[in-house]
Structure 1
Amino acid sequence: MELLMIIKAIILGLVEGLTEFAPVSSTGHMIIVDDMWLRSEEFLTKHGANTFKVVIQLGSILAVVVTFKDRFINLLSFGRFSKTEIQGNGRLKLSQVIVGLIPAGVLGVLFNDYIDDHLFSTATVLIGLVIGALLMIAADYFGPIRPKTQSIDEITYKQALIVGLFQCLSLWPGFSRSGSTISGGVLTGMSHRVAADFTFIMAVPIMAGASFLSLLKNWEYMTMDALPVFVAGFISAFIFALVSIRFFLKLINKVRLVPFAIYRIVLAGVIYFVFF
């Protein structure tokens, strides 16, 4: 039984790692895969399963930190120790990242319990998948053909705030944090790659903060019996997120958002007709 639980944990880590930073909704995929197939609640209880999903999300966060380590050194040292080349009129500032974090951070704190109790279901995910896909199509259609912001160091405070407002949409499971924020960035005049870079950097503090708060609230479920399952999921998510982030960043400027939007709509349709 323990081996089976570890295999399930690795599969969930794979799903988390591959989908966390692609605009397809990792939360949506996790809920769908878990609720309809793996059923982690059967071996971790409801709150233990939710805590497990938080832990493996930390694996994905670590993958972002590794990928953008020079950029984070620059932000935290205010540019004194970074090897990152300056592009445009200056560097991305920590204060700009904070501006982008405030809207979703405030709403997340206010409505975290409500979201956990009422929005984590397959039905709500389907809604998020479809509406998020429509937003992504709109971003590609209405966004500028030749974006003015071609470097993350050219992002303005206004752009950071608008992206932060779009990030609020991702509080609805299935909407996708990267899908909503990349769409918002593109609509403000960023290239798809710049919007993706900024999205990933913003994701670290808000995801880490939410994860640690959830862990503190559910620390009692981090038992020694469950530890091998948690570790397996964490390592799996880290490895697959590391691969998927680098692949996605090379791909996004070429394919843009519409292919991901089509995938989301097809996925929602298949799930609806098969399971409902």
Structure 2
Amino acid sequence: MNLWEIFVGIILGMVEGLTEFAPVSSTGHMIIVDDLLLKTKELFSPEAANTFKVVIQLGSILAVIIVFKDRFINLLGLTKAARESVDSSNRLELKQVIVALLPAGVLGFLFEDYIDEHLFSINTVVFGLIIGAVLMLVADFFRPARPKAETVDQVTYKQAISIGLFQCLSLWPGFSRSGSTISGGVLMGLSHRAASDFTFIMAVPIMLGASSISLIKNWQYFTLADLPFFIAGFITAFVFALISIRFFLKLINKIKLVPFAIYRIVLAAVIYFVFL
């Protein structure tokens, strides 16, 4: 393992951390950085590269857990106050998160192989980037004049299941999980911050489950020689995801989704003209 390979791991971890939870599609960025600039396919086997992508995704997930640690502790009933609480009408419950996870979880389980074999192409990613951008513009221009839920604790079961249905769109590569769910939440009457909080919270179990399954499938391709590459990517993804999430949550109520939609369209154009 040489310094260049560690550098590649750092760059890919940085891209993963900065884009995984922003509504800009981490897949689209990975296509540009990985295939065009770093040529990791020439450095590692496809199996090792896939395992690495799972590892850096776990780094991003850890960042979300750190940011929302108090929220997860309450959701799991790990504090005395949460266990003794009778009135749950004024706080988010684990049942609402589970309800939101079901649609995409079921579809992802049923069609995982088909998605991996037929939908991961540059054409489909470009399409996902553009249609996702349109959804975000629609969400910003047609959202309710006054949010029904200013905070994530005001999310109803109806809103939760609706956001879960919007998350199904993210199974299409390039659409973006956060882009689809935040847009869906805004259209259902959540503030941009409440929709973002709910998106990040529900991302942890579904991403953790999918990443764990992928890691188990590809574990035999892990070698000690690749360990510095994996460690560099994991740590970098964690650090940059931590920075990205905190920065995004502070700004989202002010800037809304339009800037991200414009950025996605520009990114789709770049990928189209460079690769197609």
Please report the TM-score for the alignment, with normalisation by the length of structure 1. Answer: 0.95
Residue 221 of structure 1 and its aligned partner are, at CA, apart by 1.2
User: What does residue 172 of structure 1 align with?
Assistant: 172
Q: Distance in 2 between matches of 1:81 and 1:248?
A: 30
Match of 2:71 in 1: 71
The SS at the match of 1:243 is: helix
User: Given that residues 6 and 229 in structure 1 are in contact (C-alpha distance below 8 angstroms), is that contact kept between their aligned partners in structure 2?
Assistant: yes
Deviation at 1:81, TM superposition (A): 4.8
CA contact (8 A) 1:41 1:48 kept: no
Query: In 1, distance between residues paired with 2:214 and 2:271?
Result: 29
Tell me the equivalent position of 2:131.
Answer: 131
- Which amino acid counterpart does residue 38 of structure 1 have in structure 2? L
Matching of residues 113-132 of structure 1 within 5 Å: 113-132=113-132
* Cα shift at 1:111: 1.3
Distance in structure 1 (CA, Å) of the matches to 2:123 and 2:39 = 16
The answer to whether the 8 A contact 1:88-1:153 is kept is no
> SS of 2:120's equivalent?
coil
**Correspondence for 1:112:** 112
Which of 192-201 and 111-120 deviates more?
111-120
TM-score (norm 2): 0.95
Is 1:217 the counterpart of 2:217? The answer is yes
Q: CA deviation at 1:101?
A: 0.4
- Aligned partners of 1:35 and 1:210: how far apart in 2? 23
Q: Which amino acid aligns with 1:221?
A: Y
- Percent identity at matched positions? 71
Q: What displacement does 1:120 show?
A: 2.0
Counterpart contact for 1:19–1:26, Cα < 8 Å: yes
- Which moved further from structure 2: 113-122 or 161-170? 113-122
Equivalent residue runs for 1:124-203 within 5 Å: 124-203=124-203
User: Residues 69 and 81 (structure 1 numbering): CA distance in 2 closer, same or farther, change over 3 Å?
Assistant: farther
| CA distances 1:11-66 after superposition (whole Å, capped 9, x unpaired) | 00000000011100112211232122212222221121111111100000000000
Pairs aligned (count)? 272
The DSSP-based 3-state class of the residue aligned with 2:224 is coil
Tell me, which stretches of 5 or more residues in structure 2 are unaligned? none
Residue 22 (structure 1) aligns with: 22
Spell out, residue by residue over 1:57-111, the C-alpha distance to the aligned partner (whole angstroms, 9 max, x if none): 00000000000000000001176356xxxx9942100010000100111111111
2:25 partner letter: S
Mapped contact 2:122–2:275 kept (Cα < 8 A): no
1:203-244 alpha-carbon deviations (Å, 9 max, x no partner): 000000000000111111111111111111000000000000
**C-alpha separation in 2, matches of 1:28 and 1:210:** 19
- Runs of at least 4 residues of structure 1 off by over 3 A? 78-82
CA distance in 2, matches of 1:40, 1:274: 18
Stretch moving more, 265-274 or 50-59: 265-274
8 Å contact 1:64–1:200 — kept in the other structure?
A: yes
- Matched position secondary structure for 1:44: coil
Gaps of 5+ in 1: none
Q: Distance in 2 between matches of 1:179 and 1:127?
A: 14
Code of the aligned partner of 1:181 = T
